[in-house]
Structure 1
């Protein structure tokens, strides 16, 4: 499986922290770059932002149309049948990106994973399948299928946010993920907003506050 090169936004000076941020279905690595000025992360935190690009895959629910996708979606009911193999493949790819950041001088405990929708599934799956220290995970408008095997033995700091009017990832799917993460004992910061499958200004403000805390 070929994963295209990542989009990178580097700070002045050597990075002390890295944020690896995965886009959703049909988007690309540039999707969240315009958000960075709104987050207003101080320059002295020296954060490198890495935005991976998903591979081009035929997506079953879209009549086999080839598009950027971290894994296949078989049906509109996201929980009906899960592409576990595809999810684990992309989660393993994300783990290699963590290793690359470590090789480039960023301690794994200073690496924050983030993902929107499909990207959030991969961020959670990767974080819960490694024992490496991590700064945390931002799981945005996403879910965590029970069929995906994870190891909850390492306690993670997780920012989970969802829109009450999300018509793509159902509210119940988000609540199921929340319940599973809490049952595993993770440090979960839950946020809900009057929005659809998107971001809103209030969420961005909450994300900024949480990121500044976990990025020290």
Structure 2
């Protein structure tokens, strides 16, 4: 598979000194600026911070099997949208390098990895879980909204091995709509439970009546979790 070029990104800068970063990955078929607009439309006030840079990357175009091979902006391929399907591990691993480079860009900008949070919506959440569980377990946290991992995901084994070795793991924050018809609520809940049993600390939040979409209460909860993981430590920050 050909090398992926540097990802296009949409960046929301903090109002004061940049001391933490959030990388927010879109769902299949979307783009970074599309997710950023969706968040802004749903959440009032916006998902902006005085000290956190929020980065919305765009996945490159690639053939997507659930769309009969049509090109789509997706982080990886799927054999089908199901927890029972094997993972398309080659395409998942292919995206770990450019997304890892994006994390390293933040480190080079002076942000410690424990003050970098990565997460996403739907497929973006699954991609974030692979990054955090398998390649960057020293990030400050990982979140997954309306997302799931396949039941035999290699991410579960990676978490088990780190936990058994006494190595640190990031905290997981998950949200899922009870009425989700594309990514079933049960899939998200089972993902959270399997990661917790493997040794990962996690919190799972259900939203009654929510389908496969973002909601203001969900994003407000996410904003509070982010601020708890990477608080503003500058002398001018509010107590």
TM-score (norm 1): 0.90
Partner of 2:128: 123
Is the contact made by 1:55 and 1:70 (CA closer than 8 Å) also made in structure 2?
A: yes
The structure number with the bigger radius of gyration is 2
Where do 5+ consecutive residues of structure 1 fail to align?
none
Distance 1:131 1:200, change over 3 A: closer
Distance 1:157 1:38, change over 3 A: farther
For 1:132 and 1:191, the matched residues in 2 are separated by 22
**1:58-73 counterparts in 2 under 5 A?**
58-73=63-78
Distance 1:118 1:140, change over 3 A: same
For 2:53 and 2:28, the matched residues in 1 are separated by 23
For 2:12 and 2:91, the matched residues in 1 are separated by 27
Distance 1:18 1:64, change over 3 A: same
Is 1:170 aligned to 2:163, yes or no? Answer: no
Q: CA deviation at 1:33?
A: 1.8
Is the contact made by 1:70 and 1:119 (CA closer than 8 Å) also made in structure 2?
A: yes
Is 1:111 aligned to 2:111, yes or no? Answer: no
Partner of 2:237: none
Where do 5+ consecutive residues of structure 2 fail to align?
163-167, 232-239
Partner of 2:214: 199
Count of residues paired in the alignment: 215
For 2:83 and 2:135, the matched residues in 1 are separated by 25
Is 1:181 aligned to 2:195, yes or no? Answer: yes
Partner of 1:2: 4
Partner of 1:77: 82
- The 10-residue stretch of structure 1 (26-35 or 73-82) with the greater mean CA deviation from structure 2: 73-82
Return structure 1 stretches of 4+ with deviation > 6 angstroms.
Answer: none
Distance 1:177 1:14, change over 3 A: same
For 1:54 and 1:41, the matched residues in 2 are separated by 21
Q: Please give the secondary structure, in 2, of the residue aligned with 1:155.
A: coil
Distance 1:55 1:215, change over 3 A: same
Is 1:31 aligned to 2:34, yes or no? Answer: yes
Q: CA deviation at 1:39?
A: 5.6
The two structures, once aligned, show a CA RMSD in angstroms of 2.0
